[in-house]
Structure 1
Amino acid sequence: MLSAAAADRNKEPLLAVIRDNVSGQRALQALEVSSGTGQHVLHFARSLRNITWQPSEFDRQSLSSIEAYRAHYKPDNVMPAIHLDASQPHQHWGGIQPDSLDLLLNINMIHISPLACTEGLFKGAGALLKPQGLLLTYGPYAVNGEITPQSNIDFDYSLRQRNPEWGLRDISLVSSLAQKNGLYLDKIVDMPANNKCLLFRKESLV
């Protein structure tokens, strides 16, 4: 099992945001795109028992870690992890049906992946979420073309040095991608360590 210190630090603040914005009274279906080590999904599943969680990853080592966590904790509301490339159309996302998800979760992927993955994430969310379903993204963002504080400026620089296709995205950019796919930015929640949760809702047909 892999362990990321950042995941341990932010899992409780993230759980609080999910709990505040998702119903705890009825059975729900959730997909986590880019589940990383698996620490988040196991933590959320223990507290939010009404949600059936589908973890996914592109990285094979991370997929093995998720499955190791599942084997260790034996949660009955976490499905086997699926291999998922967010840059690919949702038809390749493990057979998840359109309008079937109540929640789609994406933590710390947008800034450490090519823009095609973010574009695919929003296209997939627009297709797979139920009306009024929630897409929650988490990470550091630029705001109106500005990155603050200095630690995030340095982080953005280091990401772009590692891969020119990586880097902090502007909230206006991800909002425009949301709108193109039938989603709207419902809420921004400031989080510890200069990160933000962006909560997007899928628009209803009526």
Structure 2
Amino acid sequence: MTLAFSQSCENNKEPLLSLLKPLFAHSTRVLEIGSGTGQHAVHFAAAMPQLLWQPSDRSDYAEDLALRCSQSQLANLLPPIHFDVAQPWLLEPVDAVFTANSLHIMSWGEVESFFLGAGQLLESQGLACVYGPFNYHGNYTSASNAQFDQWLQSRDPLSAIRDFEKINALAQQAGLLLQADHEMPANNRCLVWKKTA
């Protein structure tokens, strides 16, 4: 069986790992939301054996995600769980939440649910790390992001590249304080918040 494969995951997994490794040095349990093909989950769990890495996604990717995680035979990579941000987050607390390339394919209501849920699930001083493209002051950061946003909205009118200022306001309402905004390859960013309450 040929497993689903994401070239963008393959391209960004090393730059992301360089960023996450020091960030998660004192973390013990990470919930990854929207694990997709599982390439990130396998790569990060292998490189950070002190972490219990919990992959999750909706059912679209369930079979390939479960198989890739199982084939990795990593003791610290937990079996993937079915997870929908818009449903109640009935999970054990974690000290980090990670998601990549997901906020722009969620509806705005789901984005609101993401930050509300993360704020409730994270332990005090826990981290929320979000990777993907963002707009600043209502403007695209590149022509390719503008084209990508047009494609997103033609595919699903509820999806869109999100405005940094709006999502940071949601994070603040959920008790999350922005720690860093890292520039990443291919006109992406990695935003890091810490739970302060």
TM-score range, shorter chain: over 0.9
Give the 3-state SS of the residue equivalent to 2:87 in structure 1. Answer: coil
Question: What is the CA-CA distance between 1:89 and the residue it aligns to?
Answer: 2.4
Aligned to 1:86: 85
Contact residue 35 and residue 55 of structure 2 kept, 8 A: yes
The sequence identity of aligned pairs, in percent, is: 36
Aligned to 1:202: 195
Give the 3-state SS of the residue equivalent to 1:193 in structure 2. Answer: coil
- Number of residues paired by the alignment? 195
Aligned to 1:76: 75
Aligned to 2:161: 168
Aligned to 1:127: 120
Question: What is the CA-CA distance between 1:164 and the residue it aligns to?
Answer: 1.0
Give the AA of the match of 1:183: L
Q: Deviations over 1:29-53 (max 9, x none)?
A: 1100110100000000000000001
1:3, 1:155 → 2: CA distance? 20
1:83, 1:67 → 2: CA distance? 10
Contact residue 112 and residue 170 of structure 2 kept, 8 A: yes
2:132, 2:48 → 1: CA distance? 22
Asked if 1:2 corresponds to 2:4, the answer is yes
1:184, 1:142 → 2: CA distance? 19
Contact residue 46 and residue 74 of structure 2 kept, 8 A: yes
Asked if 1:46 corresponds to 2:34, the answer is no
Question: What is the CA-CA distance between 1:202 and the residue it aligns to?
Answer: 0.3
Aligned to 1:19: 21
Contact residue 90 and residue 123 of structure 1 kept, 8 A: no
**Structure 1 segments unaligned to the other structure (5+ residues):** none
Question: What is the CA-CA distance between 1:22 and the residue it aligns to?
Answer: 1.9
Aligned to 2:184: 191
TM-score by length of structure 1 reads 0.91
Asked if 1:105 corresponds to 2:98, the answer is yes
Aligned to 1:178: 171
Give the AA of the match of 1:83: H
1:173, 1:37 → 2: CA distance? 29
Give the 3-state SS of the residue equivalent to 1:110 in structure 2. Answer: coil
1:111, 1:56 → 2: CA distance? 17
TM-score by length of structure 2 reads 0.95
Q: After the TM superposition, list the runs of 4 or more consecutive aligned residues in structure 1 that deviate by more than 3 angstroms.
A: none
Give the 3-state SS of the residue equivalent to 2:20 in structure 1. Answer: helix
